[in-house]
Every structure is written in structure tokens, then in C-alpha cells.
Amino acid sequence: METYHFKALLTNSGWKENVRIRTNTDGLITDIDENSSLEGIELDFGLPGCQNAHSHAFQYAMAGLAEKHSTSETPDDFWSWRDAMYSLALSISPDDLEAIAKMLYSEMLRHGYTDVAEFHYVHHDKNGDQYPNLSEMGMRLISAAKSVGIGITLIPIFYQKGGFGKEPTDGQKRFVSPDLDEYLKLFEASKNSCDSYEHANIAVGIHSMRGVEPKVIAELAKNHLPDVPFHIHVSEQLKEIEDSMAYLGKRPVEWMLDNIEMNDRFHLVHATHLTDSETERLANSGANVVLCPSTEGNLGDGLFPLKKYQDQNGAWSIGTDSHVGLNPLEELRILDYGQRLISHKRNIYYSVTEGNSALYAIQQATSAGRKAMNNFNDTYFKVGEYLDVAVISQEHPLLENCSLENLANTILYSSDASMQSHTISKGKLVVENGKHKASQQIRKEFSEAMVRLKNR
């Protein structure tokens, strides 16, 4: 049993002062008391634990390494970046992946994420052959999450094609399930792997419209989709849309809306390039989008039509994707500022009933982010639920004397990683004073993996 005392805690109804929360030995909340006397571990400003709704853990090993560009007339773009990513994917061993994921997940916790949706497609060995345990690589990701104390939703990805109507390339050989039956075997093995960790669960994932034959995507969604989230990359790049038009006669999201009955279990990652009709229909379907602002900016993807989507009450969450950025508050800022630049307006984050930018952004990212991990609980802190908190220190001069009215916006728009002091994940204090409790060993294993990979 543990007791935590927060100077202020952000709840669904706003900030509450002097909140005491008790947890049992499993990390579940047993009591929440407002205006309480000081007792237990003293903490400053608590936000609901952040949800990272889209991650490719292995790509953390190449963060910062794709910024050297050719000086020829041929521009460097997403597709040249993808070649570099394939090269890394072909090199990683199970031990490497686990060490990389431990480092990454511990860094996520340090920045306030308490759950991650792992969009996982490096399934097979370096020759493209299946491991004896089909979920060997997925099991390593779960082991990494368990080791550092973050919740994980493992999304084994169905990857079948090398593009619309094209066979997979040699660079994709570790990713491929040749047909739906083989993917369902992988899914079951991955689901079984989740049993090894109480804070692991499963979701269905399709790499992209170009990565799986569209009629197979529809069959999976209609006949084989269990009661779990469904994740897919879609409409991220203009070339993808051009290829979809040539192959299907429709844009990717248009085709999905016409052929799949979507609901709030669907999570469309990026969805960058949408028409007005697609935007409206997607929002009205109840499906969610997962936006990854730092990666989308790094890859030159473009800007999602957030204003039009919000006008239709569309739901969205955030992810860190390739992990060139790991701060959830920074992701929310980049998303907001990109929209301000193209709209020439400042009131982007708002709903009909809420004009507070930070409160609205946190609510959106938390609610849809939790759904991405099959958690439909909208209450930030609730008796009987696990305690997940990202703690912000009051030591920053802008926060020291900040009113509750201005606190959330000051944190969102003026903070940096140094202000994120503690993280409680599943009731356990895993980050203290800006440092993960097992950081020394985690970093040692990561360093050894980087030496083996020889990519830095």
C-alpha cells in the first residue's frame, strides 16, 4: 500500500488542491481525498498519465541518423528514409530489440507516458524465417515494458505486400505474413505472449492499405476482428494516395469508409491527406485518428485537417512513432502550432463547452489514447483503477506562483522535460526526480546494443 499527496491534481472537472491518493499493493486506487492534510509521498502537479498511441520501438535506434541528405537534384523524402529504416530492421536481433525497447520505454516514462501502443512488424529472423515462437520479437517488447513498468498494447502488424498489387521486397522479409491465416496465427501467438505481463494486452493491426490486399483488410475487419482496437497507417504520403487511386480508383480513407463499417475501435494513424468529405465522414463514423506531430514533421508528411475534423467532433490521440521526439506536451504543442500556421488563428484546441486549450488537448489525447489501448474509462482518476500520473515540478519560475486557472496552459505551452519530475505507472513510482529507477542498467544494455548494431 502507498500514499501520495499532490499539491494539485488535474481531474476531469479541473484542478483539485491537496489531493491524497492511496493505492493497494497491486497499484489500484483505494481512496481519493481532496483538501487533505499532508501525508505520504509529497508531489507537485499531477496530470493523468499520458497515452502514446503509436510506437515503432526499434526505430528509436535510428533517431537522428536520417538527417544527412544527398546534394543531388533528387530530393530526400519519406521513401529514402524508409530504405534506411529497412536497413536497421534487417539488423536487429531479439536481444537488441529488447534492449532498445527498455531504453525507449524508460524514456517514455520519464516524459510522462504510462502506456504505449506498440505497432510491431519486425516478426521474423534476419533471413525472414519464422522463430519457433511466432511472437518471439513481440515477447521481447512485452518483456521490456514489464521490466521498466509501462503498460503496453502489443499490435502485431499484418504486412503482406510491397505496395498496391506488388510482392514484398527483400527489405520487408522480416515483416511478412503471406495470407490472413498466417496473420491470425501470429495474432494468437502475440495474444498468448500478453499473458506474461498483467499490464499487457492485444490489438489488431494492418500496416497500411498498400501493405495488405484491400479485400483482405475488409475480410479481417468484418469476420475476424475480436473485441479489441484496430490500428492502421493510412494516407500518410501523397504517393500512397496516387497509387491507391491507380489501383482502387479511390483514395485510401475513402475506400475504407465505403468498404468497412468503422466505429470507435478503429484508429487511423496519420490520415494526413484527407478531402473535406473524408474528414467529415471519418469523424462521423466514430473512428479515431492517431497523430504523431514530431515524426510527421520530420518526414515531411504534411498537416492533418484538425480544425475541420474537430468541427465534426472527431476524436484524436497522439503518438511518437519514430521517436525523434518523446515529450507528450511537445507533441501537443507542435500539433497546435502547425494548425495555427495554416489557419492564421490561435483558437484551435477548443470544444463547444471548453475554451481552455490545454484542458481540451489533454482530454482528447487521454480519452482517444486510452481507447487505442482498449481502455474506455474516461475518468482520469478513479477508485478501483490503476494510478497513472505524470508529475510536473513547481520549481520552475513560471509555475511557482501560478493560479489554478492558468496552470494547465502554462504547463502545456511553457514546459520542457526538466519540469517533468516523477511518473507513477500502475501505482508504482517508477521515475523519481527525472530519473528512472533502473536507468543505469537500462542504459548499459542499450549502449551494448548500439555497439553491436554499429549504426551510430
CA distances from residue 410 to 5, 113, 236, 325 in whole angstroms, order as listed: 22, 19, 32, 20
Mean pLDDT (whole number) for 370-380: 98
- Non-local (6+) Cβ contacts of 264 within 8 A are 286, 287, 288, 315, 371
DSSP bridge partners of 151: 115
Asked whether the CA dihedral 59, 62, 67, 69 is positive or negative, the reply is negative
Residue 79 scores a pLDDT above 60: no
Q: How far apart are the first and last CA of the chain?
A: 44
CA angle 414, 421, 36 (to 5 degrees): 100
**33 labelled catalytic:** no
User: What length is written for the chain?
Assistant: 456
Q: What span, in angstroms and rounded, lies between the C-alpha atoms of 160 and 163? A: 9
Q: Given CATH 3.30.390.50, say whether it is the number of domain 2-48+381-440.
A: no
Mean pLDDT (whole number) for 257-274: 97
pLDDT tens for residues 225-235? 889 999 999 99
Query: Active-site residue among 5, 270, 323, 422?
Result: 270
> How high is the pLDDT of residue 106?
98
Domain boundaries, the chain: 2-48+381-440, 50-371
Q: What span, in angstroms and rounded, lies between the C-alpha atoms of 354 and 110? A: 29
Residue 82 scores a pLDDT above 80: no
Q: What span, in angstroms and rounded, lies between the C-alpha atoms of 19 and 45? A: 10
DSSP 330: H
- Non-local (6+) Cβ contacts of 397 within 8 A are none
Residue 353 scores a pLDDT above 90: no
Q: What span, in angstroms and rounded, lies between the C-alpha atoms of 53 and 76? A: 27
How is domain 50-371 classified at the CATH fold level?
TIM Barrel (3.20.20)
With the CA atoms of 192, 124, 139 and 298 taken in that order, what torsion angle do they form, in degrees rounded to the nearest 10? -120
* Distance from the Cα of residue 195 to its chain's centroid: 21
**270 labelled catalytic:** yes
DSSP bridge partners of 446: none
Residue 70 scores a pLDDT above 90: no
Mean pLDDT (whole number) for 87-96: 94
**pLDDT band for position 419 (50/70/90)?**
very high
pLDDT tens for residues 134-192? 999 999 999 999 999 999 999 999 999 999 999 999 999 999 999 999 999 999 999 99
Residue 75 scores a pLDDT above 90: no
Least Cα distance to 206 among 272, 282, 267 occurs for 267
Residue 98 scores a pLDDT above 70: yes
Single-letter residue type at 321? D
Mean pLDDT (whole number) for 50-73: 87
Residue 213 scores a pLDDT above 90: yes
> How high is the pLDDT of residue 68?
74
Single-letter residue type at 5? H
- Return the minimum-mean-pLDDT range out of 72-81, 288-297, 341-350: 72-81
- Non-local (6+) Cβ contacts of 233 within 8 A are 119, 206, 207, 208, 211, 269, 270
> How high is the pLDDT of residue 253?
98
Residue 80 scores a pLDDT above 70: no
> How high is the pLDDT of residue 66?
77
Query: Residue 29 is inside which H or E element, if any?
Result: strand 29-33
Range 365-368 contact pairs with CB under 8 angstroms and sequence separation of 24 or more? 365/50, 365/51, 365/316, 365/317, 365/318, 365/328, 365/332, 366/48, 366/50, 366/51, 367/315, 367/317, 368/53, 368/267, 368/288, 368/290, 368/315, 368/316, 368/317
Residue 284 scores a pLDDT above 70: yes
Least Cα distance to 281 among 299, 260, 302 occurs for 260
Residue 444 scores a pLDDT above 70: yes
DSSP 149: T
Q: Where are the beta strands (DSSP E) in 292-332?
A: 315-318
pLDDT tens for residues 401-411? 999 999 999 99
**pLDDT band for position 84 (50/70/90)?**
confident
Q: What span, in angstroms and rounded, lies between the C-alpha atoms of 112 and 430? A: 11
Percentage, residues of the chain above pLDDT 90 = 89
Mean pLDDT of the chain: 95
> How high is the pLDDT of residue 73?
65
Residue 439 C-alpha cell reads as 536507468
Least Cα distance to 55 among 13, 115, 133 occurs for 115
**pLDDT band for position 328 (50/70/90)?**
very high
Residue 76 scores a pLDDT above 90: no
> How high is the pLDDT of residue 203?
98
> How high is the pLDDT of residue 350?
76
Query: Active-site residue among 321, 323, 388, 422?
Result: 321
> How high is the pLDDT of residue 138?
98
Phi-psi region of 64 (alpha: psi -120 to 50; beta: other; left: phi over 0): left
